[in-house]
Amino acid sequence: MNKIKNTLFSNKPVTIDENSLIMALESSCDETACAIVKGGREVIANVVASQIKTHEEYGGVIPEIAARMHLEAVNVVVDEAFKQAGVKGKDITAFAGTVGPGLVGCLLVGMNAAKSLALAYDKPFIGINHLNAHLAANFIDTELEPPFIALLVSGGHTQIIEMKSYSDIEIIGETIDDAVGEAYDKVARLIGLPYPGGPKLDKMAQEGDPFAFKLPEAKVDGYNFSFSGLKTAVLRLVKSFDGKELPTSDICASFQECVSSTLYKKVKRAAEERGYKQVVLAGGVAANSEIRKKIFSLENEGYKVFAPQMKYCTDNASMVASAAFFFENTFDNIDVEVFSRTR
Ligand code: KG4
Ligand code: ZN
């Protein structure tokens, strides 16, 4: 795949091909990350500075603190990525940065760093949608190509996406209230697990009985989802113990069973009805053990299933560089502004 991109000021055309090195920055939430990826699939450097320890104290991400921490970390992760890759700025073909959706003050740091590097080395700047980046995590070290149906499950989004080609991407279903990651974090908090609760809930669930409690599966039209009713049902269940010791692992396992079977059924139906043979899992929650297991079980039904390697599920910059290489709907403009919500 060859793409021609222009530099920002001198308008010098640059060809992006299999040998191109793309450096990307990601700072949409609580990870400051920088990566260098060759030809969209081969990671040469992957550096992630996580702020989780700081936000743990507050039980969630405080945007102003996160933005300030990105500022402190951004030069460090860029230097480290150059060091890991053993290359210099002049060797980079293009610089990419996440422009949204995410926390505006946070996005500004990574995007402006990427724009500055692009200007300094007179290379193209490629602005990336964070959700496309999560999808692109599946291109790393694989031979995946569209068309496919994707299930994107992250802290802020839950979507079923039809990706017909690198330029034709349609969201055919999404949550009408909480995102899956959000539901995990809220339920985890309810039962006393520290932020971010998703991975901890997943771990506890593995020790519990998934059929201990019958929790309600929301009936939502089409390929859409709803998880706020389930969250309320868990709250009611917790209250019903009236201060007595909670069967925490059974609650976690039952919640995880309910969420994962809903996701499985909807994505399977979408693939069947829309005639896709490849199913792709993406987003931070793609790290979840039971969701992975259920989605991979589609391989027994004739589907080819992809999910990112664990380190590329949650926020990282390799997926941003890969998206810059493959996707057509990028923001290649010095004037592009960050945005907080999907558009
Ligand atoms: O994709 P991501 O890094 O952030 C957004 O782009 O929103 O995903 C973070 C989310 C958090 O809600 C976190 O709790 C959840 O992914 N998560 C998990 C697991 N690992 C991360 N949720 C359930 N099980 C996991 N193993
Ligand atoms: Zn993310």
* pLDDT beyond 70 at 343: no
Contacts of 136 (CB under 8 A, 6+ apart): 40, 319, 320, 322, 323, 325, 326, 327
Structure tokens at 11: 């308008």
Give the atom of ligand 1 at the shortest distance from the alpha carbon of 131. 6
State residue 4 phi and psi, 5-degree precision. -110, 125
Instruction: Give CA–CA dist 42/220, Å, rounded.
Output: 39
Among protein residues, the one whose CA lies closest to atom 5 of ligand 1 = 155
The dihedral through the CA atoms of 300, 162, 287, 157 has a sign that is: negative
Among protein residues, the one whose CA lies closest to atom 22 of ligand 1 = 198
Instruction: Give CA–CA dist 151/250, Å, rounded.
Output: 26
User: What spacing in Å lies between the alpha carbon of 154 and ligand 1's midpoint?
Assistant: 5
Number of Cβ atoms within 10 Å of the Cβ of 217: 15
- Can you tell me the mean pLDDT for 15-25? 97
Instruction: Give CA–CA dist 44/40, Å, rounded.
Output: 11
User: pTM to 2 decimals?
Assistant: 0.96
Inter-axis angle of helices 228-240 and 180-190, nearest 10: 10
In terms of Cβ atoms closer than 10 Å to its own Cβ (0-12, 13-18, 19+), residue 300 is: exposed
Question: Per DSSP, which regions of the chain are E strands?
Answer: 3-6, 13-16, 21-26, 31-38, 42-50, 94-100, 125-129, 148-153, 158-163, 169-174, 278-282, 304-306
- Can you tell me the mean pLDDT for 170-179? 97
Which residues sit with their C-beta closer than 6 Å to ligand 1?
29, 134, 154-156, 181, 184-185, 196, 198-199, 202, 283-285, 287-288, 314-315
Give the atom of ligand 1 at the shortest distance from the alpha carbon of 202. 24
Q: Which residue is listed with tokens 């040469």?
A: 44
Q: Which residue is listed with tokens 């079980």?
A: 297
pLDDT in tens, 261-282: 999 999 999 999 999 999 999 9
User: What spacing in Å lies between the alpha carbon of 209 and ligand 2's midpoint?
Assistant: 30
* pLDDT beyond 90 at 255: yes
Instruction: Give CA–CA dist 173/260, Å, rounded.
Output: 16
Q: Reduced to 3 states, what is the DSSP secondary structure of residue 42? A: strand
- For residue 287, the ligand closest to its alpha carbon is 1
Instruction: Give CA–CA dist 318/154, Å, rounded.
Output: 17
* pLDDT beyond 90 at 196: no
Give the atom of ligand 1 at the shortest distance from the alpha carbon of 314. 3
* pLDDT beyond 70 at 203: yes
Given pLDDT bands bounded at 50, 70 and 90, which one contains residue 223?
very high
Given pLDDT bands bounded at 50, 70 and 90, which one contains residue 243?
confident
User: What spacing in Å lies between the alpha carbon of 137 and ligand 2's midpoint?
Assistant: 11
User: What spacing in Å lies between the alpha carbon of 314 and ligand 1's midpoint?
Assistant: 6
User: What spacing in Å lies between the alpha carbon of 284 and ligand 1's midpoint?
Assistant: 4
Instruction: Give CA–CA dist 144/246, Å, rounded.
Output: 44
Contacts of 107 (CB under 8 A, 6+ apart): 27, 28, 98, 99, 100, 338, 339
pLDDT in tens, 276-316: 999 999 999 999 999 999 999 999 999 999 999 999 999 99
User: What spacing in Å lies between the alpha carbon of 242 and ligand 2's midpoint?
Assistant: 36
The dihedral through the CA atoms of 21, 45, 284, 209 has a sign that is: positive
